[in-house]
Structures are given as C-alpha cells and as structure tokens.
Amino acid sequence: MTPAAPTRRPANRAPREDRAPREDGAPRTPGPAAGTPWRQGRLLAGPARRPRVLFGRMYEDPAVELAAFPPPGARVLCIASAGDTAAALAAAGYEVTAIDLNPAQLAYARTRLEDGAPAATGTAERLTGLGRAAAAALLPGWRPAAVADFLRLDDPGEQRRRWTAEFDGPGLRLLAAAALRPAGALATVLRPGFRCVLPRGFDEVLLRRIARTVARHPNAANDWAWRLLLGRERPGATGGIAAPGRVRLVRGEVVEHLERCAAGSYDAVTLSNVVDGPGPEFARRLRAAVEHAVRPGGTAVVRSLREPGPGGAGRAAEDRSAIWGVVRVVRTRTDGVGNR
C-alpha cells in the first residue's frame, strides 16, 4: 500500500506535562509498566527509593533519526530521557512529543528543554566516571591529556591506528573484564532486571564497538566520543538544548501511551532502548502498539545494547555514540513491520 500522507496539526505552543493521552478504544491491556524495570526509576540495586535522574545526557546520535524520519513538520514521539533527542528533533522542525515513565527524569528533561539548564550528572555518568577514573589511575595512556589528544584527531584511519596501538591494550582489557563481565563490578550493582541486558563478554563487545566508531567517525566532531572517553563536552560544542515551547512532555509508559493514542497519531517514533530489560511480552506489545499509533508507511527507531540477532545490527555503525549493538529502523505497514 502506498504510504498515507501525514496530516499536520498546529505546532505546540508550550511544553506541558500530560499524565494520560486521550483514549479512543485502541487495543489495550492493563499494566504494561509493571513488566519493565524502568518503572523503578533506578538502575542500581538496593532498597526501593524515590526515582533518580538516570541519564544526564543521552547516548544516542539523533543523526540516525534525522536521516530516517519523514520531512520536518511530521508528528514524532521520542523517549524524553535527558531531552537531547527531543531538542534535536524540535530544532529540525518536527512536532515533538517526549514521554518518560520516570518522574525525576521527566522533570530534569523539562528544566533543560524549557529553561536551558546545564547537563547534570546522572547514574549513568557516575558509573562511566568511575571506569574512566580507574583507567586514568592505572594506565598512563588513559590519562586525560592523552585521551584529549586522541579525541582531537579527525582522520578515522589515524584514529584506528592509535586506538589499537595506544589505548586498546592488555591493561584496558583487564580493567574492562573486571568491570563488565557477567560477574564483574557493573553486574553486581545493577538492578536484576538490567543485568540480563549486558551481552556475554560485554567488555570485549564494548571495546569492539568503540573501535568500530573511531575507525568510521572523526573524533574531533564526535560529541559522544568526548563524553564517553573523557567525560567532557567537545570543545566548541553548543552545550545547551533549550527548546522552549516546542516539545510536549508526557509522563507515562510508552506502550500504554501508544495503545491509547488514536490510530495513526504519529508519523514516526524513536524508542531509545526501552526493549532492554523487559521480556518478550513487552516487545510484542510494543510492536503492536507502534503499528497502531504510527501511520502506515511511518518510521520507528529502536536501539539495544544486546548483540545483534538474525536481523543484524541495522544502523548501529552509523550511531556515533559507540555503545549500541543494534539500531533498528523499521517502516510500518498495513501487513506488519518491515526492517530497513
């Protein structure tokens, strides 16, 4: 079937936080949030406490969405997280709705989008900061000055050579194994629902993904490489992400939101890695909800830390953030979802 042309709605006048989108009889079953570990608003194991800001920045390259989505003006949904993707889509001219189940994360995204608040340190940044500090303390090649010099390179060929010769050595591999193996430090501090997300041999997997990225994308222009490897913003980076009046904020669970929407409410959606953690039933419901809420011929993007399955890695190599095993872009159809 020829994809239906998207209908346009007036641009949002101001960011607002909604708790429940309208209902119109779309297929639903209760309680999707109960099936996802994201509902706790915490990455780390321990007694249940109030939700925390998990991500001070987003580790997703919106260039993937900007290349895959329909033209600007389309109605799009994204995961709010730290607000970076929502801001990039709004700046490109999309009509953006951003959703998050974690009230602390949503409030944080709102301060960045509405007020231009600076990036804060979330749980993810604290964890990666510990890894960088250990590497800098134990491995001379990983001291900040050496890493910064590496990140100023703009020739992927030279980057690949130097990564192999100066950074990806036995010392780094020992540290990565101690931190990232199934019985390593990271697995012991994560909530049980997230431990299964890490691929077997995640230490070697992550180093391969970083090597893939530095061999393909110039470091000097890669914001995500600077944040991951050095914990700093790239010199000359714009920094703030303020998009006042241009993003609609929704507190809720993404599957339930999509199920409650009118059919074809969105032209495209990008779902971060919400499939990491929940089980197969969540993924099945998400797929059906996307088919319902995204118009025929629309686009969906989903990421995962897991190693690729039979469908391959998709566009993972195109995402400059370096951490993803799968970046899948799919097209909705009246007869199902087709991979691209």
- Kindly report the backbone phi and psi dihedral angles of residue 234, in degrees, each rounded to the nearest multiple of 5, phi listed first: -65, 135
Q: How confident is the model at residue 90 (pLDDT cuts 50, 70, 90)?
A: very high
Contact assessment for residue 302 and residue 322, using Cβ atoms and an 8 Å cutoff: no
pLDDT at 193 (0 to 100): 75
C-alpha closest to that of 53 among 3, 117, 4, 115:
117
pLDDT at 35 (0 to 100): 66
Q: Which residue has the higher pLDDT, 186 or 327?
A: 327
Q: Is the pLDDT of residue 42 over 80?
A: no
Strand order in the sheet with 326-333: 17-18, 247-251, 95-100, 75-79, 266-270, 294-304, 326-333, 336-339
Q: Is the pLDDT of residue 12 over 90?
A: no
- Kindly report the backbone phi and psi dihedral angles of residue 75, in degrees, each rounded to the nearest multiple of 5, phi listed first: -90, 120
Contact assessment for residue 242 and residue 87, using Cβ atoms and an 8 Å cutoff: yes
CA atoms lying within 13 Å on the CB side of residue 50: 4
Q: Give tens-digit pLDDT for 248-291.
A: 999 999 999 999 999 999 999 999 999 998 889 999 999 999 99
Q: Which residue has the higher pLDDT, 304 or 36?
A: 304
The residue to which tokens 């079953």 are assigned: 29
Domains and CATH numbers, the chain: 17-119+239-339 (3.40.50.150), 123-230 (no CATH)
pLDDT at 40 (0 to 100): 75
